Structure 1
């Protein structure tokens, strides 16, 4: 099947990109295996007009609206191969089907590399979180912690007191100094150098964390800045340019979300330095606009 644009990945970014294109009367095939990273979150917050909805509800609503446009088509399958062809790109699915298009948008997301500490993974997306704007309000007025995985934790720890009393766990490796330390102290942040060795709770709510020296700390929410890892093989198949940052690896894009390969646009967490539902929507919207412009001006 041949179409104008193929979008691989059907979460917030991919759905937003599709909306711009079908409203531009372009034919779109959205390929999605329906296993988004946000499936671990009970609700999504901070997205204008959709605050408190589950990711599944948001996806269902978006697909219902997109399906009202005759040029939209969704295929619920995994894309396993992509190749450049003379007039665009060809995508092969796990079931053997192939689709080709003039332009390609990748919104397959990333994988988070969480700290290898017992209890972190079990509470991820509930009381172990990364974004205060996404989930911080639900943990407000509790004792909170920030687990340092890099010096970026100093910035995060300075923000979190707006939601609750905050302790920075340096893990004995990332110790603030000078003006940074002074700022954290002024913000009321406690500094704990004994590493966290275990997050104890019921899988949803943290009861406390166990420290290496045998003490416990009764925090009820833990902020972590995990490292982003690109796991989609499609990025390497297309040899897209990437950049390593303090937060992980990202695909390099321009202002219209076009990658280093002409005609390939990359949106959402794959190209965003900061990750949230709202930012994914914004990124996908720009990728959709960029792909539409490319169909008109850069045939």
Structure 2
């Protein structure tokens, strides 16, 4: 593995979450010089525990990342705090990665694992309880609130779908109509599943001893609940990729936008940009931690194969000249 003393690396990984670290670990073990540039703002930072990751169920997200960083550096990979603001193609090949502090590094290949931002509905108090008792994924949190009063906020086209999902974990699931117009078919589906519809716009949260106790409704009423389910807008942190010319794809449900992502090959993470791969939530918004890590590994394998092809081609050219 090169020591990257000239500030050049085989691969620069943008983002130090599960996808980025898994990719970096795989590349470091493949004897590649790897630099991870991490802004230190993982999507799941508000959550105290993560679930569904075999062998790590209930583990701290921060603990998982700390262990991952130690593993990457243990194989010679390098991790630097910072924010990548742009990347430019070099005439001689590769990319020049520009950071917010003005520093630059060179990369033969780029793996973007910047994740996404969860944009929450405009209800006061949601952000402070996000990942605690304001939730969105039943596979991440359903078990923890099973059989408790769960309220689903109807703020977009996913509301009825979410209510049907959460009803599986708790028969005490209600749907708060809030600002989303429900059709007659929606109401029929909800009634068939035993999901009560509570009319009225939600104006705030009721918190008792640092635990969600309910929501307030326009007109002064309240609805008690122990968990509030929302559908965030998944907005990809795509600045580096769009700056290189890769457009953002709008995600839709029933013709309504629910977020953005960047396109990549689902098997390899390769984007339409030569030498650039993407992994994790920036390209697959619904992946949980385990899935994001798997994306990072697949992308790393593809990147190493691509580098070997390039090195083999150059070796053959040099061999022919020497004959």
**Where does 1:2-151 land on structure 2 (aligned, <5 Å)?**
2-70=8-76, 72-86=77-91, 87-151=93-157
Q: Unaligned 5+ residue runs, structure 2?
A: 1-6, 253-257, 312-323
Residue 279 (structure 1) aligned to one of 275, 291, 300:
291
Secondary structure of 2:51's aligned partner: coil
Q: Which residue of 2 aligns with 1:163?
A: 169
Q: Distance in 2 between matches of 1:185 and 1:289?
A: 48
Q: 1:150 Cα shift? A: 1.7
Mark the CA change 1:148 to 1:283 in structure 2 (over 3 Å): closer, same or farther.
farther
Q: Does the 8 Å contact 2:82/2:100 carry over to 1?
A: yes
Deviations 1:54-96 (A, max 9, x none): 11100111112222213x1111222222111131111122333
Q: Aligned pairs, how many?
A: 297
Mark the CA change 1:154 to 1:297 in structure 2 (over 3 Å): closer, same or farther.
farther
How big is the alpha-carbon RMSD for the aligned residues of Structure 1 and Structure 2?
Answer: 1.8
Mark the CA change 1:204 to 1:297 in structure 2 (over 3 Å): closer, same or farther.
farther
Mark the CA change 1:204 to 1:44 in structure 2 (over 3 Å): closer, same or farther.
farther
Q: Which residue of 2 aligns with 1:188?
A: 194
Q: Which residue of 1 aligns with 2:250?
A: 244
Q: TM-score, normalised by structure 1?
A: 0.93
Q: 1:243 Cα shift? A: 0.9
Q: Unaligned 5+ residue runs, structure 1?
A: none
Secondary structure of 2:44's aligned partner: helix
Q: TM-score, normalised by structure 2?
A: 0.86
Q: Which moved more, 1:204-213 or 1:50-59?
A: 204-213
Q: Distance in 2 between matches of 1:203 and 1:297?
A: 60
Q: Distance in 2 between matches of 1:231 and 1:27?
A: 25
The structure with the largest alpha-carbon Rg is 2
Q: 1:184 Cα shift? A: 2.6
Mark the CA change 1:52 to 1:193 in structure 2 (over 3 Å): closer, same or farther.
same
Deviations 1:159-179 (A, max 9, x none): 10122211112224231432x
Deviations 1:228-279 (A, max 9, x none): 2234531321121221013301001112111221211111111114142122
Q: Does the 8 Å contact 1:251/1:270 carry over to 2?
A: yes
